[in-house]
Amino acid sequence: IDVLAAVKTVVFDKTGTLTRGVFKVKEVVNLNGFSKSRLLEFAAAAELQSNHPIAVSIMAAFNEAGRELDPALISDHADIAGQGVKARYGEHSVMVGNDSLLHLKSIDHPQCEFDGTVSHIVVDGSYAGYITIDDEIKPDAESALKSLRQQGVEQVVMLTGDNACAAGAVANRLGIDSFYADLLPEDKVNIFEKLTRQKSGDGKIAFVGDGINDAPVLARADVGVAMGALGSDAAVETADVGLMNDSPLKM
């Protein structure tokens, strides 16, 4: 409680913390010969074994179309930390992930910046299209940040693995002082260490997050706050404080 009272900087994760983290597929855009239906099938096959919220939204869209996958056709599934997933689906190799994955694998693609969250799809080494996915800002997030400032917090920062355009839209809406986007899990720790070194005087720094990738930063913060209801077990166990209804207003 004493440390919380001295917090001058609060660093937030974005997805599931300031936003609902409940994604919904908005549009499937096919660019390289496959139909939209087939493209969604490839994405669902690659994401079948993932429990990431974006993967769940892709599977939900596929299932809502009344379709089913044959698990026997899916093999060699692997997570690519902070960037996406890959798998074999029948005779095809499939990757689904963010823009940094495309650059890592040297995949030619026509567009890097989008207004929202995007999952890019690569089939047999060629860019096949993308899926746009919606996430909503939590209704009490703006009030929570205003309340923190009224209580003496001087700086609010956001860290996210999402693209800069999507992150910027959330930051502008909520009046966040600065944000860092396109981050891998280890990048979050490095940025947080930098912010810790920059803090002034005796002011403390808090981190608020919900994911398994947030656990190292939660452990490093003067005060780690986890979203207890929807947060990962690792985040909740590492944090000093758990918000049981996942509302940032309860900080």
**110 φ, ψ (degrees, to nearest 5):** -80, -15
User: Residue 236's pLDDT is what?
Assistant: 61
How far is residue 18's CA from residue 25's CA, in Å, rounded to a whole number?
19
Question: In this structure, are residues 129 and 39 in contact, taking their beta carbons and an 8 Å threshold?
Answer: yes
3-state secondary structure of 114: coil
Question: In this structure, are residues 41 and 58 in contact, taking their beta carbons and an 8 Å threshold?
Answer: no
**242 φ, ψ (degrees, to nearest 5):** -120, 125
Which tokens sit at 128?
């096949």
Q: Collect the ranges in the chain with pLDDT lower than 70.
A: 211-212, 228-236, 238-240, 244, 246, 250-251
Residues in the chain: 251
Name the H helices within 30-140: 36-47, 53-64, 99-104
User: Residue 120's pLDDT is what?
Assistant: 97
How far is residue 210's CA from residue 194's CA, in Å, rounded to a whole number?
21
How far is residue 89's CA from residue 152's CA, in Å, rounded to a whole number?
53
How are strands ordered across the β-sheet holding 24-30?
24-30, 126-134, 117-123, 92-97, 84-89, 74-80
User: Residue 155's pLDDT is what?
Assistant: 95
How far is residue 113's CA from residue 144's CA, in Å, rounded to a whole number?
29
Long-range contacts for 105-110 (Cβ within 8 Å, ≥24 apart)? Answer: 110/31
User: Residue 230's pLDDT is what?
Assistant: 53
Q: Which residues are catalytic?
A: 13
% of the chain at pLDDT higher than 70: 92
User: Residue 212's pLDDT is what?
Assistant: 66
DSSP letter for 242, please.
E
User: Residue 164's pLDDT is what?
Assistant: 86
How far is residue 58's CA from residue 81's CA, in Å, rounded to a whole number?
18
Residue owning tokens 């692997």: 78
